[in-house]
Structure 1
Amino acid sequence: MSFTILHTQLVDRGKALTADCLRIAAGRITAIGGPEIAQPGDQRIDGAGSTVLPGLIDSHVHLAPGSTQLAATFGVTTLIDQFSMPEVIDAERALGSDFRTSSIGATAPGGHPTIAFPPFPYVTGPDDAKQFVADRIAEGADHLKLIYDNSLALPTLAADTVRALSDEAHAHGLTVVAHVSSAAAAVTVAACGIDVLAHAPSDLMTAQDIEAVAGVAVIATLDIVDGFSGPSARLPLLDEAELMARMPARWRRVLDRQSRRWMPPQPPDGAAARANTLALLQAGVPVLAGTDAPNPGLVFGASLHRELGHLVRAGFTPAEAIAAATSAPAEVFRLADRGRLTVGARADLVLVDGDPLADIAATQRVRRTWVAGEVVVPADYAGSETELAGVRFLGETTARIVAALKEQWPDFPVT
């Protein structure tokens, strides 16, 4: 199918183009210009009052059945998975979904995030690096994920193991993503040669810390705070009218139940992570938008719009926030065919009402989404067996985590 979107604002790399029309054929962008680019037989779409963005990219998720379809409902056309089991990955691929994955992440025996997953291979030391990376490549991994977290009362990889994993992954052309929680951990893994930090540190980074990690990228995941109830005693996503209007009923119920779970008396406010993210951007570090869905309060696709709002709250311009969810992740993860509005690019597109360069909340007003030139039909997912499988998977994962918490800390107030 070929179509032309007419008289719309086109945004590439966070900047408005002078052209206002976009033509798509055979799943690719074939022309950018004025109305004259439309061809006989094209479907013509009136884009007055709207903006076309490249399909949004979430740089940090953990897959669940149908997650790519749910994300596309909200204009998020590419998911970058940062740790999932091979059977989950294979099932999602069987749906014909296009995403990127690390497959199993590298962590120490009993380390984070052991309680969230069925048994999987651990890394005990540098000598395991070669086989671990080879096994992930055999599973179809596009990059390597590793866990270095010295802020938890759990085992973590040693620095020499991080370096060995990074070196082995680089020898095979893989980008290396490292989970960290603290500024000290970020400095350590940067010195070990990793490429991307998963999570902005939750403690305030010094100028020296910023300088030490200036050669890597960072996936912000500022929306982690959305897993905790605000003043309304509801999870923040529930109060986003535009997003909730597109939210399938089962996922609404999930959010409602998560709102009523136990909450800490002083939930994290994310202030240090926001300050770090802005300081990293100002130091020239590529910042990528990521959600860590489906952690509590986070939903595939929908939460990326909240993440963009958090970036702007941190001090980003709307243009910088949009780049963090389009061109920046495409460059860092070498997605040469998407994240841009250029001739020849894959036609992953989202049409939104309004001008997100003036008001980032406009990204939430999704009018239409295309994946490889095919329009996304939200009703194909909502109420489907695929949706049910995703919700069941989340419930099973939650039950496993709760059981593990109760076993380790019998008095822990989980519900």
Structure 2
Amino acid sequence: MPDDQRIVIINGAVFDGSGAPAVPADVIVRGSVIESVVAGGGTETRPGDQVVDCAGLTVMPGLVDSHSHLTFPSALGHIDPSFNPPLDVSFFHHMPTPDEHLQIARRNALIMLDHGFTSVYSAGSLTPVPTEVFLRDQIAAGDTPGPRMRAASFERDNNPVQMGPDGPRPRETGPDAVRAFIAEQAAIGFDSVKLLLSNDDVFFEGGSMVTQYSPEEAAAAGEQARESGVWLNCHAQNPASIKLAVRGGFRSIYHCSYADAEAIDLLEEAKDSIFLSPAVGIMWANVHEGEEFGIDRAMAEHMG
């Protein structure tokens, strides 16, 4: 669309996201910029305008998914039963090829766009393959439909034992190892790097209360992220991990399900520099809506 062409959206109820109720108004867009919102409507159109009649519809800003996993196999309308931790993780035994995985991510991106999400901030890739980098660049180039996105690395858990095709092998930990990982992911092209500062009950009983990084490692992560020009994301369930994230300069903090008063105060103090995505829907679904997927009441309690 030419930069000077107007799109005139008429007869809709405009919801501006401020919390005020939707009101009748027209929206005028020029190029990629919202030029004006005309309360009450009645905009006079001009020759060459693209007119969109939204009678009976709501016009609103594009939604932003702050906790996106476009490389996960399941999405709205596409439930993959082989990716249902802790009950079934057989997906990892029949992994798609990189090209197939990119197609899964492209499908999920289109689903998000069709449901009104015009931006997504990744909460982590499923594998070390830079599928999200490829997807982000294809969307930006107009080669595939999808929301604007920030690509995130896979989730580093800081486990001193790493599983590989030949069995378990030692893995380096400590501040230098964390720095090296972040620098490597930045060089690959990710916008943000994801660390599992805490574990999770879905991996083993009581996992959410296990903190996986030391204060020195979290501080090194923040320093290296700033040096490499990337942001930091983290999975943080317990109070200690949340505090590490805030003090380490992490940009996006996920879950925080068991935050104590001190952690909540820290989050409040840092509210202008961090994004918090609690993802409470996951816990609600596991407790109340998971029975058809094998998560009955007893299993939900076992999962914490």
User: TM exceeds 0.5?
Assistant: yes
What is the identity percentage for the equivalent residue pairs of Structure 1 and Structure 2? 22
Shift of 1:181: 0.9
2:116 matched to which residue of 1?
Answer: 75
Q: In 1, distance between residues paired with 2:161 and 2:48?
A: 58
Shift of 1:182: 1.4
Matched, 1:47 2:90: no
Larger radius of gyration: 2
2:185 matched to which residue of 1?
Answer: 136
2:280 matched to which residue of 1?
Answer: 222
Give 1 or 2: higher helix fraction.
Answer: 1
Unaligned segments of structure 2, at least 5 residues: 72-103, 200-205
Report SS of the residue matched to 1:8. Answer: strand
- The answer as to whether partners of 1:102 and 1:142 remain within 8 angstroms in 2 is yes
Instruction: Say which of 15, 18, 32 aligns to 2:37.
Output: 32
Shift of 1:164: 0.1
Q: In 2, distance between residues paired with 1:110 and 1:262?
A: 31
Give 1 or 2: higher strand fraction.
Answer: 2
- The answer as to whether partners of 1:111 and 1:155 remain within 8 angstroms in 2 is no
Q: In 2, distance between residues paired with 1:177 and 1:197?
A: 6
Superimposed CA distance per residue, residues 360-393 of structure 1 (whole angstroms, 9 cap, x where no aligned partner): xxxxxxxxxxxxxxxxxxxxxxxxxxxxxxxxxx
Superimposed CA distance per residue, residues 210-241 of structure 1 (whole angstroms, 9 cap, x where no aligned partner): 223321431121111254263xxx55xxxxxx
Report SS of the residue matched to 1:213. Answer: helix
1:265 matched to which residue of 2?
Answer: 298
Do the aligned partners of residues 193 and 44 (structure 1) sit closer, same or farther apart at CA in structure 2, a change above 3 Å counting?
closer
Report SS of the residue matched to 1:54. Answer: coil
Q: Give the alignment of 1:8-407 within 5 angstroms.
A: 8-16=12-20, 20-33=25-38, 34-36=41-43, 38-64=45-71, 65=104, 66-84=107-125, 85-93=128-136, 94=138, 96=144, 97=146, 98-109=148-159, 124-149=173-198, 152=207, 156-201=212-257, 203=258, 205-206=260-261, 208-214=262-268, 215=270, 216-228=274-286, 230=288, 234-235=289-290, 259-265=292-298, 267=300
2:98 matched to which residue of 1?
Answer: none
- Residue identity matched to 2:121: I
- The answer as to whether partners of 1:24 and 1:30 remain within 8 angstroms in 2 is yes
Q: Which has the higher contact order (CA 8 A, sep 6+)?
A: 1
Q: In 1, distance between residues paired with 2:254 and 2:285?
A: 17
Do the aligned partners of residues 110 and 28 (structure 1) sit closer, same or farther apart at CA in structure 2, a change above 3 Å counting?
farther
Unaligned segments of structure 1, at least 5 residues: 236-257, 269-415
Q: Normalization by structure 2: what TM-score?
A: 0.65
Report SS of the residue matched to 1:135. Answer: helix
Superimposed CA distance per residue, residues 180-230 of structure 1 (whole angstroms, 9 cap, x where no aligned partner): 1112321233233323321132x3622x33223321431121111254263
Shift of 1:105: 3.2
2:95 matched to which residue of 1?
Answer: none
Q: Normalization by structure 1: what TM-score?
A: 0.49
Q: CA RMSD in A?
A: 3.5
- Residue identity matched to 2:188: E
